[in-house]
Structure 1
Amino acid sequence: MGEKQFNQIIKEGFSSLSPGQKRVAEYIKGHMDEGALHTAYQIGKKAGVSETTVIRLAYALGFSGFSDLQEKVRRDWLENKQASQTEVSAAIDTTEESQLFETVIQREKSILEQLLNQGSSEDLWVAVDKIVQADRIFIGGFGSSFAAAYWFYYSLRQLRENVSISTPTGFMPEDVSEFTEKSLVIVFSFPRYRNDSLKLVNSAKQQKAGVLAITNRQLSPVGQIAELTLTTEEQIESSHNSISSAITLLEVLIAGIHHKDEERISSRQQKLERIYANHGLFIE
């Protein structure tokens, strides 16, 4: 988990940018190769803004100038290029049956390598602290995003109390009516993005609850407005969203929670084991 990547810098400063600067930021974010190689004038023309707006974006994001911004984009692009080049989901040839499974595994491997490169240890520890310190946690995942949300809900219930979850199709206002500034909402949002995710984030913010988004990119709809955003496939261009990257990210969080809250977790798990034994829940 290295230094902060360009997409994270954009996410943190996005809300303060002018409309034109936002267009440039989104354009570079989606075209890192052009951002790494083209001039400010060329980028501005592609984004539909002036060269001056491109230069002002660099200053707005804390760079000393456009060349400084471009050098950061170039480093990130080159670091991620190798992993991105191995993304071959669009090239899977169903007629080559002997290579199909190997191709899928290689694709998943490239996604996990990208997850390692793009992550921020600081953000992960902030997320862990928020989860440990929250008085209650509500997990939201809608549609296909519910699968990863439920996995985390089930795992987190083994570690702490006061954890609840939405349904795959929505949530009730009563579910979030008792949130306070000490509560935490964790929203899973992967394409196609559901409106319920935005509704949940806005409901949480109205009650001053913390919001952690787990999504595929920093500038996804919930990624832009969440207090903290963790991403899975930031630089991978694919119509397929890997469940393995989401679960791996959650495994990292679980490991961090174990490290930070070991004593309380041990006490809870001992209590749960007694209950499981009394109910004869497991075969072994």
Structure 2
Amino acid sequence: MKDNIDLMKLMQQNFARLSKGQKLIAEYIMENYDKAAFMTAAKLGETVGVSESTVVRFADTLGYNGYRELQNELQEVIKNKLTTVQRISLVDDYSNKENLLKKVFKKDMSNINKTIDEIDYEIFQEAVNEILNSEKVYVLGLRSSSFLAGYLGFYLNFILENVTVVTAGPSDIFEQLLKVTNKDIVIGISYPRYSTRTLEALNYVKRKGCKVIGITDSLISPAAQISDITLLASSNMVSFVDSLVAPMSLINALVIAIGMEKKDDITKYFESLEDIWKKHSVYNSNNKNKGNIKNR
């Protein structure tokens, strides 16, 4: 069996000698390895537009003992995700500066569409209800996910009374989670390469009897294995960064759904806030240049 850390390199190194059909398979896997990992040889062939036998020969060409062995390697790639160095080696497709902007936008759109297609409304509503019925809400996210956690916590604080954003700071995350009880809910946000600290913290609150809502990219991600409720949002981007557009859209939907359940309360709250914002000039109210595009 090939070492899974070399799988993507194997496809690149052998790309020139692949047949036309096999090149289509390689391109599809590099762009959609999370999907390909769970496709049969027949399904992958159908998706790409080649025969099942072409898929099997593709695996043989790369040195695998059949398609099943290659598929196992792909599933390991998903579990461990690619290192930053491996991701950089895969960004040749973005070397054309003229196409880069469109390709990144299209990939973000693809992630949103995939998230829409795969979202389970009943699970989503279950998450909303759990958040509304909990005494306290903790939002946990580290590293790149800290921005998502901060955004979610910022808006939940307008709607709910007891919201705490747990992220790297002066105090250790375990200290911030010390008072968690089984009446609370922890929303854990975890995206590749899955912060070990986040996973340790989620296991910690689980041991305290607290329910966990996981926002992550796959049902086989480490965070999904820990969570009681899992909300999926795709983040695929063949680059050294992840696409967090779909996770942000999911978070927007979550905030709005919770807000609509407490519409009367937040209406009064925002009326009071508007007075405060106006009194303390929180927002710029200078409209002298309104409509004058040149002065914007």
TM-score normalised by the chain length of structure 2: 0.63
Measured after TM superposition, the shift of residue 102 of structure 1 is 1.3
Gaps of 5+ in 2: 1-32, 44-51, 53-65, 73-89, 286-296
Q: Could you say which residue in structure 2 is the equivalent of 1:106?
A: 106
The 1-side partners of 2:254 and 2:34 are apart by 30
Q: Could you say which residue in structure 1 is the equivalent of 2:289?
A: none
Measured after TM superposition, the shift of residue 200 of structure 1 is 1.4
The 2-side partners of 1:35 and 1:201 are apart by 36
SS at match of 2:144: helix
Q: Could you say which residue in structure 2 is the equivalent of 1:227?
A: 228
Kept in 2, the 8 Å contact 1:160–1:268? The answer is no
How many residues align? The count is 213
SS at match of 1:32: coil
Once the two structures are superposed, residues 208-266 of structure 1 have per-residue CA deviations (whole angstroms, 9 ceiling, x without a partner) of 111111111111111111111111117x5745421111110111111211222212222
The 2-side partners of 1:245 and 1:178 are apart by 32
The 1-side partners of 2:258 and 2:112 are apart by 21
Measured after TM superposition, the shift of residue 276 of structure 1 is 3.2
Aligned-pair identity (%) = 23
Kept in 1, the 8 Å contact 2:140–2:198? The answer is yes
The 1-side partners of 2:36 and 2:237 are apart by 9
The 2-side partners of 1:109 and 1:46 are apart by 29
Q: 1:34 aligned to 2:54?
A: no
The 2-side partners of 1:213 and 1:203 are apart by 14
Measured after TM superposition, the shift of residue 90 of structure 1 is 4.5
The 2-side partners of 1:28 and 1:197 are apart by 22
Measured after TM superposition, the shift of residue 268 of structure 1 is 2.8
Q: Could you say which residue in structure 2 is the equivalent of 1:183?
A: 184
The 2-side partners of 1:111 and 1:45 are apart by 27
Cα RMSD (Å)? 2.8
* Larger-gyration structure (1/2): 2
The 2-side partners of 1:187 and 1:209 are apart by 12
Shift of the 274–177 alpha-carbon distance from structure 1 to 2, 3 Å rule, reads: farther
The 1-side partners of 2:213 and 2:129 are apart by 12
Q: Could you say which residue in structure 2 is the equivalent of 1:210?
A: 211
The 2-side partners of 1:261 and 1:189 are apart by 27
Kept in 2, the 8 Å contact 1:141–1:166? The answer is yes
TM-score normalised by the chain length of structure 1: 0.66
Q: Could you say which residue in structure 2 is the equivalent of 1:119?
A: 119
Q: Could you say which residue in structure 2 is the equivalent of 1:272?
A: 273
The 2-side partners of 1:227 and 1:139 are apart by 15
Q: Could you say which residue in structure 2 is the equivalent of 1:5?
A: none
The 2-side partners of 1:277 and 1:28 are apart by 49
Once the two structures are superposed, residues 13-34 of structure 1 have per-residue CA deviations (whole angstroms, 9 ceiling, x without a partner) of xxxxxxxxxxxxxx99762222
Kept in 1, the 8 Å contact 2:137–2:184? The answer is yes
Gaps of 5+ in 1: 1-26, 49-88
